[in-house]
Structures are given as C-alpha cells and as structure tokens.
Structure 1
C-alpha cells in the first residue's frame, strides 16, 4: 500500500490527503476539491502551480506546458505530480469559489439511451444513468468516456445542466476513424453499456459576477456553452449575453429553434452565427472566422466575462485578440479541445 501525505494549497489554506501512487490533481478530484485544470495529461499548463516545500516528483509532460526554466524555478504540473512527503503548494490559477464547490469524481456505468445526427458530422448522444447513480456535475463540466473494450477514454462536455433527470447529453463531432466518435456511426447501439468518469472542468458560470457575458465557440464546442445558457434560463439570470458561434456553412448550424427560444427567455441574449464558407447571395448573416467576426462586432470587452470553447486553433487565435480588446486574464474562461500527443520529458 502506498504511503499517504498531506498537501496544503496556498493562498486558499485547503488541505487534502494524497497517496504516492496518485497525482495531486487526482487526489484533489477524489476529495471534491476542484482545482483549475485542462487536459489532465501534462500538455496544457492549466494546472501549473509552484512548489513551496516538500518532496514532489513529476511524470512525463510536454515542455510546451512547462518549460525547463520554469521547472528549475519550482513550477510543477499538478496532473503529473506525485508527492513523497507532506508538501505545500502555491496555486497560480485558481478560483476559490470553484475550489470549495467541487464535486467528488466518480465512475458510473451508463447505457446508450439515444443517438441522433445534428449535422453531417455532429451527433447528439444521450447516456442514461443508473437508478442509484449518485453522480452530480455543474453545468459546463465534462466527463471522460471510456472507449468500449479498451482502457482509453475521450473527454466530452455535458450539454444538459443536471444529472437529476437521469441522463447525460453530449454534442460530439464525428471524425473519420475516431476511436469513440466513429462508434456513433457504426459500433454503438441503444442499450450498450458505457462507462463515464467525472465530473471534471472549471468551465462554469461565475454567478458572483454581473459583467456582460460573451460566449465564443464553434462546432461541438456548443455543448458546455449551451449548458450555461440553459442554466441562465432556468435560474432567471438577467445578465446581458451574446453568443458568437462559428460554423462552415448554414447546413452546419443546429439547435436553432432552442437558441431562438433562449433569446426570448433571456431577454438580453443574442445569438450570432458566423459562417466561414458562406456566399453573400446565400447568407445574410455574419461571415468569416468567428474570431474575425468578434473583432468586427465588438469594440471593447474590458467589462465582459468571456467564455471560449472550441478547437486549439480557435482558442489560440482568440486569447491574444481578447487581450488586445482589453479583457483581463481573470475574466477569460476557456475549454480547449486538446488532442492526444506524445508527451516529452
């Protein structure tokens, strides 16, 4: 049996136990402490923190996420950190309200309730939870879905706002040869068992803020943003909000009826679809990449909270743009769809 040690997180003053054979991040998940994180694979740097004291060793990670000079200074990636004594760690990126509202990560055996095509390459998947599941999540979070017959998993955000109805709803882009998404075309049928682990993620609505909301996403990145919009409608949230959604053609748009209904419910909400491959004679709306439309339509975002969800190129293009438009780092929240890649030492 592995030895157990204490981890103290500063400046929030929270302590957890961690076994030597689990990462600090996994130990936090197990105990319902929701630290800021992203890929959980040592590739994105979201969980980067500073070791103040104690014996800590890291497994393999990408030097893009943690350059050698930062490691030499004492920075660590919590998703790759194992401790061998009591340690004290200073969190670099954190939201104290979120840390204290975390939910324990659990593994649940679900089954396929339904599958439907939303567009030519995006599917709606609904998984039914067992009667006594004990699974909870915050709107905007995600789970790891185990690929049937393997030890591998893929991460997908829930589009619904609660597990109370006994279903988890996902919007998933189908990729040719995709290990899991390919099963949505051929391989999964209603009633098949599917194992999910979660909840993960910090892409949740900061309800303590009253700033204007700007949502930016594309493709299957609609899932967590839709969850936040549904949450706002259910709770009667009256914050002004706009959603810039990027797609290629009009045929790639979906859930338009619900988004129109949300526009009526929320009052101060606007949905702005942006088509990158439209022709002027066929489309009267906004054209171009979603980040280009954002720059064209918004003058100054300094007093806004901005939520981004989509593939790495979209996020990478949006972050410097938002900085130029006056958005402070602590007002930007993003869910970046990372890809599996070989980690470096």
Structure 2
C-alpha cells in the first residue's frame, strides 16, 4: 500500500491498518506532534486523495476522504492515499509531559484577571504560543496559555475569572502560594513560526494577550526582526493590562508597534476606541504576504480570521487560538 506525502513528493510503503503518525515517523517524515492522543492538535494534516479511517475520539471509525483534515495520531491507513503535511520547515516536536509545579505567586492583573506563576519541577519544552492543561484539584482542570517563552524555571498564566466557574472561583478564592498544580502539555498549533521573515500581525482579546506575549518574547529570544503589529482589544480601560511588558518588548523588538483598542471609554484616554477588528480594517488596505496570530474569545477570533483572510493573508498563515468558556 502506498502513501504519497506532499509537498515532499515522497511515497511510502505501508501496511493496511498502520497508524498514520507512526508510519510517518517510521519513514522519517517531518511532522509536528506532542500528545499522540488526539488532544493537542499538533499533528494535523490533510487527506488530498484516497481514504484513511479516523479511529479516535468521538469520530471513531469515520472515514476521512479527499480534502478532509485529520490528526495523524488518530488516523489509520486503509488504502492508497495522498497526504499533505503542513509547513515541513516549521516542525516542532515536544513530547507531552505531566509535570508537578508549585504556585509561587497569585497576583491581580485587573479586576477579573489573575496572574498565576508556577515553579517547574523539571524542564518543560514548548513553542511560544502553545498552552497547557492545569489541574488544581482532581476535578478542577482547565487549559490555559503560557505567557512566557520556554527555557525558564517557571511558567506563567493569565486567568480570567468567570462568574460561576468552579475552576476560576477556586483560583480566585483558594489557590495560594505553595500549592501544587499538575501541568500537562504542551498543546496547540498556534505557535511561533521562526523560519520566516514575513511581517506579522497579532490580534489579542483580553487574556488572549498571554499567548501573544509568549510569541513576542519568543521572537526576542530568537533574535527575529520581522515587522510586527500587535492589536490588543479590551472592553474598557480597567481591562487593559500588560502595557509595561509591551514597552519592554518594544526595546527588544524595534520593528514592533502596539495598538491598544478599548471598546467603550467614558472619558478621553491614551488608547484607541472601538472594536479591535475595525482598527485593523482601518489601518490596512492589504495584508498580503503577512502572517497572523490571533487569540481570545471565539467570536473575536472568528471575526479576525475572516477579516485577515479578506485582507489577503493565506488561510494556512492565520494561526488562531480561541478561548472557549466552560462551566467548570
């Protein structure tokens, strides 16, 4: 049985019933992966032609044919097919880990956002922009984005307090310095691409600033000098945070420009007013040739993604991370 790999123009001999990710790895095909269990989304690829069988999660035993996107770790080869592996020059492999961490600080960033800093018990490799799952107690587990770049001895998360949310209520009222938190990951595909000189636009809403900060800090660590425009949108002036961090990053990223956009403001202030996507629309006639990182509430992420594609950014160059609310 043959599996052809695009854009590498390679053909692999595999057996019917082989797991697609294992087949790719056994033949040294570069593909990103992390958890190998269908959670992180990192090994996503596209079935160009032929058929594979999705064998994990809710889609068990669903065939994936021409044009479908699949997770290689959850796909079984059942016939000759052509598979497209995205961005072969930007492969990241961070095997998923479970790490014991210790809370070293719980601080207020705004009236409803906590900054939680965790000391790591051992090294934790991830790409800037990825996220992890935090377990505060047996039934209190939620994913949050790292706000720092990798390589340090601690991780940082910005957690918005959700009314009625069991996890965020715990963080707000019970979490304290010295507590243990289990961290697992990394997860997510909206990570920094380091092998391109394309200009970059970042759009963050609320705590969506956390992964964008990680990306910008990663750019500084890698010495990247891409032109980068950050648009940070919030509801009101009291929701603005992180301005000092952005000022520090401007010194390290001389081609960076930050735009803080406040939706509603009762009085004149230092920030632009309006909707963050409108600000982007007003500022740019075309973004052809750019890359984009977007993080925040699903409605904002969806609106931003549509706008960026209308402005000329290729769909595969819009790296988006939507923060879905949860009752827990």
Contact 2:5 2:85 in 1 (8 A): no
**Partner-residue secondary structure (3-state), 2:221:** helix
Counterpart in the other structure of 1:191: 178
Counterpart in the other structure of 1:125: 116
In the alignment, the residues of structure 2 paired with residue 126 and residue 41 of structure 1 have an alpha-carbon distance, to the nearest angstrom, of 24
Which ranges of structure 2 fall in alignment gaps of 5 or more residues? none
Contact 1:203 1:333 in 2 (8 A): yes
In the alignment, the residues of structure 2 paired with residue 35 and residue 26 of structure 1 have an alpha-carbon distance, to the nearest angstrom, of 11
In the alignment, the residues of structure 2 paired with residue 139 and residue 328 of structure 1 have an alpha-carbon distance, to the nearest angstrom, of 21
Counterpart in the other structure of 2:130: 141
1:61-103 superposed Cα distances (whole Å, 9 cap, x missing partner): 59xxxxx9x95768364289364x777775556221333x311
**Partner-residue secondary structure (3-state), 1:209:** coil
Counterpart in the other structure of 2:147: 159
Give the C-alpha shift of residue 186 in structure 1: 1.4
Contact 2:120 2:154 in 1 (8 A): yes
**Partner-residue secondary structure (3-state), 1:243:** strand
Q: 1:195 to 1:45 in 2, by over 3 A?
A: closer
Answer yes or no: is 1:78 the counterpart of 2:71.
yes
1:172-211 superposed Cα distances (whole Å, 9 cap, x missing partner): 1111122322222112111111111111222222222112
Q: 1:257 to 1:87 in 2, by over 3 A?
A: farther
TM-score normalized by the length of structure 1: 0.77
Contact 1:59 1:80 in 2 (8 A): no
Contact 1:49 1:92 in 2 (8 A): yes
Give the C-alpha shift of residue 33 in structure 1: 5.1
Which ranges of structure 1 fall in alignment gaps of 5 or more residues? 1-6, 63-67
**Partner-residue secondary structure (3-state), 1:296:** helix
1:16-35 matches, cutoff 5 A: 34-35=32-33
Query: Which of 233, 249, 256 is equivalent to 2:243?
Result: 256
Counterpart in the other structure of 1:330: 316
Give the C-alpha shift of residue 282 in structure 1: 2.2
Answer yes or no: is 1:57 the counterpart of 2:80.
no
In the alignment, the residues of structure 1 paired with residue 275 and residue 81 of structure 2 have an alpha-carbon distance, to the nearest angstrom, of 40
1:262-289 superposed Cα distances (whole Å, 9 cap, x missing partner): 223322211100000114x422531111
Contact 1:61 1:80 in 2 (8 A): no
**CA RMSD, Structure 1 to Structure 2 (Å):** 3.8
Contact 2:52 2:79 in 1 (8 A): yes
